[in-house]
């Protein structure tokens, strides 16, 4: 038995390409005291991983050249010397892109899954995993949405944005989405319940388009993108509006020269709050978020947009496509069971 791993072959220059990743073979790990071996089933592709590929630290250690790519996964416990975990248990945690991972009590985000058998397991890596939980916590805890609010969501067809749009719509908000393709706009409008959707690639004056789409002003901007999109959104905020800093993906592929913001004065003039958050700091809110998301999914009120790539060896190219912005919904790799 070998443990196939996807490792970092080169620091990406801009958008990652498939050759920045390489498949290698290593020994299958053996659980020591307090450890367990997990067979990875689904990898959750995350925008945040891009920040770990440049060789500089952010809120996590960088991934070194030749090191296995780190990311959340769903797995099944193969063998365990960790109290509370038995072979066969399904778990979620921050592992590596590999067949078998070593896990212990310090594994970030580690939790046992008790999936609803009526729902696909892969959903626990997306809508019922970090993406859905981030949308829920960001809108409620940071954005404090209430019925009647105008809620603007960027990267609205993505993993986090697609759930944010639907939660806001379910809770009686008027939803305006920002996307980068007409195909995405149609999905966000027709399937996710958005009132209006703007394709930023077709709007030379994005701020003007947002003001026209939100004549009363934006009460809550759920910002996945940062950069020029955030700059434009600042010009469309209502007095006292709230900006939820979820992510700034537009700068992840060019972290060395981030986009300048010109409209920050609007924070003062419009008395805005602008608060960033990381889901890792709100883990106490995850059970409530998961329960609400699962109830909506079971009732058919939430639609899951999922883009599943088959095979560990395709993880690098799948990630490249995601970071190029060509995909819709949650990007997941189904690890082939060799
Ligand atoms: N705070 C937290 O705890 C937390 C947790 C999870 C995720 N996040 C953040 O949430 C955001 C979305 O992440 P996700 O995992 O849900 O990814 P995602 O939205 O599924 O995929 C990325 C999408 O971002 C959009 N995008 C906008 N500008 C882009 C650019 N310049 N380059 C590439 N893509 C661009 C693309 O859609 P368009 O075609 O519409 O542009 C692309 O499809 C990220 O900023 C991420 O860091 C934060």
104 & 147 share domain: no
94 & 168 share domain: no
Cα 115 to ligand 1 centre (Å): 26
What is residue 107's three-state secondary structure?
coil
How does the average pLDDT of the chain come out, rounded? 97
Strand partners, 312: none
Cα 274 to ligand 1 centre (Å): 18
316 & 201 share domain: no
pTM over 0.75: yes
Residue 325 has phi, psi (to 5 degrees) of 80, 20
Q: Quick check: 57 pLDDT over 80? A: no
Q: Which CATH number do you get for residue 98? A: 3.90.180.10
Question: Is 322 a pocket residue for ligand 1 (Cβ < 6 Å)?
Answer: yes
Cα 89 to ligand 1 centre (Å): 31
Secondary structure (DSSP) of 256-313: TSPPP-S-TTHHHHTT-EEEE--GGGGGGGHHHHHHHHHHHHHTT-S---EEEEE-GG
**Alpha carbons within 13 A on the beta-carbon side of 54:** 16
Tens of pLDDT, residue by residue over 316-333, are 999 999 999 999 999 999
Whether 183 is in a domain gets the answer: yes
Distance of CA 152 to the CA centre of its chain: 17
Residue 243 has phi, psi (to 5 degrees) of -105, 120
Q: How far apart are CA 230 and CA 222, in angstroms?
A: 10
204 & 110 share domain: no
144 & 263 share domain: yes
Quote the pLDDT of residue 337. 82
Tens of pLDDT, residue by residue over 240-257, are 999 999 999 999 999 889
Cα 51 to ligand 1 centre (Å): 12
Question: What average pLDDT score do residues 88-110 get?
Answer: 96
Percent share of the chain, pLDDT over 70: 100
**Domain span including residue 35:** 2-126+305-334
Whether 291 is in a domain gets the answer: no
46 & 88 share domain: yes
Q: How far apart are CA 254 and CA 112, in angstroms?
A: 36
Question: Is 180 a pocket residue for ligand 1 (Cβ < 6 Å)?
Answer: yes
83 & 31 share domain: yes
CB 109 within 8 A of CB 92: yes
Whether 285 is in a domain gets the answer: no
Q: How far apart are CA 163 and CA 143, in angstroms?
A: 15
Residue whose CA is at the smallest distance from ligand 1 atom 28 = 250
Question: Is 130 a pocket residue for ligand 1 (Cβ < 6 Å)?
Answer: yes
Question: Is 160 a pocket residue for ligand 1 (Cβ < 6 Å)?
Answer: yes
Cα 7 to ligand 1 centre (Å): 22
Whether 139 is in a domain gets the answer: yes
- Retrieve residue 197's tokens: 């959707």
Question: What average pLDDT score do residues 11-34 get?
Answer: 97
What is residue 211's three-state secondary structure?
helix
Residue whose CA is at the smallest distance from ligand 1 atom 40 = 179
101 & 119 share domain: yes
Residue whose CA is at the smallest distance from ligand 1 atom 5 = 134
149 & 110 share domain: no
Whether 288 is in a domain gets the answer: no
Residue whose CA is at the smallest distance from ligand 1 atom 2 = 278
Residue whose CA is at the smallest distance from ligand 1 atom 19 = 158
Please count the structural domains in the chain. Answer: 2
Cα 247 to ligand 1 centre (Å): 7
Separation in Å, CA 177 to CA 182, 196, 226, 337: 12, 6, 14, 38
- Retrieve residue 173's tokens: 């908000």
Tens of pLDDT, residue by residue over 299-314, are 999 999 999 999 999 9
Secondary structure (DSSP) of 55-91: SS-SSSPPPPTTPBPEEEEEEEEEEE-STT--TT-EE
SS3 letters across 307-320:
EEEECHHHHHHHHH
Residue whose CA is at the smallest distance from ligand 1 atom 21 = 158
Distance of CA 206 to the CA centre of its chain: 24
Question: Is 48 a pocket residue for ligand 1 (Cβ < 6 Å)?
Answer: yes
Separation in Å, CA 151 to CA 113, 131, 162, 288: 32, 18, 13, 22
171 & 136 share domain: yes
- Retrieve residue 137's tokens: 């916590």
Tens of pLDDT, residue by residue over 102-141, are 999 999 989 999 999 999 999 999 999 999 999 999 999 9
């Amino acid at each position: 038995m070998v443990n196939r791993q996807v490792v970092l072959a080169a620091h990406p220059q801009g958008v990652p390409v498939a050759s920045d990743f390489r498949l290698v073979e290593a020994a299958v790990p053996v659980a020591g005291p307090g450890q367990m071996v997990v067979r990875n089933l689904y990898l959750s592709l995350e925008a945040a991983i891009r920040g770990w590929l440049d060789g500089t630290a952010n809120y996590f250690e960088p991934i070194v050249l030749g090191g296995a790519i780190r990311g959340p996964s769903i797995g099944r416990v193969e063998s365990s010397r960790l109290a509370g975990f038995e072979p066969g248990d399904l778990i979620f945690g921050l592992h590596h892109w590999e067949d078998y991972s070593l896990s212990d009590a310090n594994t970030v985000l580690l939790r046992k899954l008790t999936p609803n058998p009526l729902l696909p397991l892969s959903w626990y890596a997306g809508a019922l995993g970090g993406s859905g939980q981030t949308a829920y916590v960001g809108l409620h805890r940071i954005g404090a949405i209430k019925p009647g609010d105008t809620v603007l969501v960027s990267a609205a067809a993505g993993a986090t944005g697609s759930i944010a749009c639907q939660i806001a719509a379910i809770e009686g908000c008027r939803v305006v989405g920002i996307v980068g393709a007409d195909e995405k706009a149609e999905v966000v409008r027709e399937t996710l319940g958005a009132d209006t959707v703007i394709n930023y690639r077709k709007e030379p004056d994005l701020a003007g388009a947002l003001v026209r789409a939100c004549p009363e002003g934006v009460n809550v901007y759920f910002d996945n993108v940062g950069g020029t999109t955030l700059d434009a959104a600042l010009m469309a905020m209502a007095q006292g509006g709230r900006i939820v800093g979820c992510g700034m993906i537009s700068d992840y592929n060019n972290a060395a020269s981030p986009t300048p913001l010109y409209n920050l004065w609007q924070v003062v003039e419009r008395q805005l709050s602008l608060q960033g958050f990381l889901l890792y700091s709100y883990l106490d809110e995850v059970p409530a978020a998961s329960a609400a998301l699962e109830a909506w999914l079971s009732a058919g009120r939430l639609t899951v947009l999922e883009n599943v790539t088959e095979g560990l060896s395709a993880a690098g190219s799948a990630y490249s496509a995601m970071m190029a912005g060509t995909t819709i919904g949650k990007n997941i790799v189904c690890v082939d069971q060799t």
